[in-house]
């Protein structure tokens, strides 16, 4: 099947977030873990390639993204979406802007948009400033993110150092006037030489206006939510068959493992709530792991009844995270946890776990790589931007969900299990 849109995401949970929102349309969406080694075959109308490029050196992020673009072009895609976090996670060097400019150059387009808004999850943009709930980004818990601390709320100021061409704004007043007015704004900015346009959005209806105005752009960039209306628009244009197939749901036994490496404020709350339900749990401390390795966690797991959905977590408050990073180094502390949780995922699978719930982008990358997962079919949504997916690992069909740190309600871990049982 010809691919209508090719999507590239800078981390694994972001990719499942995007794929889940696209799949709301009922159309089959396929998610590839990394750039496939084989040429495209059996492709879906929407193909999403998950990279792990958010915090790698700029040159590496650009090179990997260009490889993903080439594969998606082979699959037949002519429209593309560059997906990054709804909190615009990046540094002054990138990688959002440099990757966008590389994609623009490869596609021969001289303008694109930036819209990380996700109103359902409390992410909104007004006059170019990004809000997390009612807090400006720089006053939200993201200001203390261990890898990409966000100390400015203004997307134009954040983006400008990352790109070589001018940055402009299409504000909420323009968006409120409709798609034609927004297209006129883009043309006016293009006449001024503005290549990078931040677009305000405070509600879901804004996303539909933006998608309508941008649907013929070779490249859109943003969070997942602005891509959500595109399947319906493409059906209306005749680019996508009205009866495009959805993903079938296989049955999976209820043996479950929950793995949490995210240290976001919401994941802290989710872990605490899940432990309070009486679920068995084991806490990973990077300082302990540096001395004892992964064996204590693996031995604990070996003695668990997986039908109780035990939890292994490294989730901690910012002060604890900083202490471990100070003692071990930021990269080393993170890698210890990622490697341990990846080993736990393999061990749980080998013990019979066929449902795996993962919290945290870096953790999700490590777990999917360890499980040898290369493709995910997107299924029912647990929370906005967090779907269940189905994949194959060592010959077994696995239900896998990859949750971005800040997504989901406090009851997410129990919600996920209930949602799959009800699907």
102-136: pLDDT as tens digits: 999 999 999 999 999 999 989 999 999 999 999 99
pLDDT of residue 205: 97
pLDDT of residue 414: 97
Answer whether residue 372 shows pLDDT above 90.
yes
pLDDT of residue 333: 84
Q: pTM of the prediction?
A: 0.82
pLDDT of residue 12: 85
Instruction: Give 247's pLDDT tier (boundaries 50, 70, 90).
Output: low
Contact 139, 246 (CB under 8 A): no
pLDDT of residue 404: 85
Q: Across the chain, what does the average pLDDT equal?
A: 93
CA–centroid distance for 140 within its chain: 19
Using alpha carbons, select from 225, 215, 214, 226 the residue that is nearest to residue 185. Answer: 214
Answer whether residue 395 shows pLDDT above 90.
yes
Instruction: Give 295's pLDDT tier (boundaries 50, 70, 90).
Output: very high
pLDDT of residue 326: 85
Answer whether residue 263 shows pLDDT above 70.
yes
- Alpha-carbon distance of 383 to 112, in angstroms, equals 29
79 φ/ψ angles, rounded to the nearest 5 degrees: -120, 145
The 3-class SS string of 273-337 reads HHHHCCCCEEECCHHHHHHHCCHHHHHHHHCCCHHHCCEEECCCCHHHHHHHHHHHCHHHHHHHH
Instruction: Name the percent of the chain lying above pLDDT 70.
Output: 98
Answer whether residue 241 shows pLDDT above 80.
no
Contact 344, 298 (CB under 8 A): yes
Any idea where the domains of the chain sit in the sequence? 5-237, 256-422
Q: Which of 20-24, 94-98, 107-111, 149-153 has the lowest mean pLDDT?
A: 20-24
Answer whether residue 392 shows pLDDT above 70.
yes
- Alpha-carbon distance of 324 to 83, in angstroms, equals 31
Question: Domain 256-422 falls in which CATH fold?
Answer: Molybdenum Cofactor Biosythetic Enzyme; Chain A (3.40.980)
Question: Domain 5-237 falls in which CATH fold?
Answer: Rossmann fold (3.40.50)
160-179: average pLDDT? 98
Token digits of residue 29: 């969406």
Answer whether residue 384 shows pLDDT above 90.
no
pLDDT of residue 244: 58
Secondary structure class of 4 (helix, strand, coil): coil
Answer whether residue 299 shows pLDDT above 90.
yes
Locate all alpha helices (DSSP H) within 75-221, ordered by sequence: 96-107, 155-159, 172-175, 179-191, 204-214
Instruction: Give 167's pLDDT tier (boundaries 50, 70, 90).
Output: very high
pLDDT of residue 146: 81
């Amino acid at each position: 099947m010809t691919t209508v849109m090719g999507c590239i995401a800078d981390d694994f949970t972001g990719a499942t977030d995007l794929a889940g929102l696209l799949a709301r349309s009922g159309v089959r969406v396929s998610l590839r873990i990394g750039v496939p080694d084989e040429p495209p075959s059996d492709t879906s109308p929407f193909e999403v390639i998950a990279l792990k490029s958010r915090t790698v050196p700029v040159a590496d992020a650009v090179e990997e993204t260009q490889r993903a673009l080439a594969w998606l072009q082979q699959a037949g895609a002519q429209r593309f979406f560059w997906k990054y976090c709804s909190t615009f996670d990046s540094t002054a060097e990138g990688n959002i802007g440099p990757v966008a400019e590389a994609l623009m150059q490869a596609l021969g387009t001289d303008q694109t948009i930036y819209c990380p808004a996700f109103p359902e999850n409390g992410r909104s943009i007004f006059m170019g400033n990004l809000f997390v709930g009612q807090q400006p980004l720089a006053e939200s818990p993201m200001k203390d993110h261990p890898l990409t601390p966000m100390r400015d709320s203004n997307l134009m100021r954040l983006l400008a150092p990352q790109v070589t061409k001018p940055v402009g704004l299409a504000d909420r007043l323009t968006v409120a006037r409709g798609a034609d007015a927004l297209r006129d704004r883009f043309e006016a900015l293009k006449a001024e030489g503005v290549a990078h346009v931040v677009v305000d959005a405070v509600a879901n209806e804004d996303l539909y206006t933006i998608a309508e105005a941008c649907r013929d752009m070779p490249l859109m960039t943003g969070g997942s939510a602005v891509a959500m209306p595109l399947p319906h628009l493409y059906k209306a244009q005749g680019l996508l068959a009205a009866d495009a197939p959805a993903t079938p749901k296989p049955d999976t036994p209820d043996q479950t493992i929950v793995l949490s490496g995210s240290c976001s404020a919401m994941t802290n709350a989710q872990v605490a709530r899940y432990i309070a339900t009486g679920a068995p749990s084991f806490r990973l401390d990077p300082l302990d792991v540096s001395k004892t390795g992964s064996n204590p966690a693996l031995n604990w797991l070996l003695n668990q009844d997986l039908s109780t959905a035990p939890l292994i977590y490294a989730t901690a408050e910012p002060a604890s995270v900083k202490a471990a990073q100070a003692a071990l180094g930021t990269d080393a502390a993170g890698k210890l946890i990622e490697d341990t949780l990846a080993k736990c995922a393999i061990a749980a699978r080998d013990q019979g776990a066929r449902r795996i719930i993962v919290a945290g982008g870096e953790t999700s990358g490590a777990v999917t790589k360890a499980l040898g997962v290369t493709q995910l079919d997107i299924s029912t949504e647990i929370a906005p931007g967090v779907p269940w997916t189905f994949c194959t690992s060592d010959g077994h069909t696995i239900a896998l969900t990859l949750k971005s740190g800040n997504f989901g309600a406090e009851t997410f871990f129990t919600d996920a299990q209930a949602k799959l049982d009800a699907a």
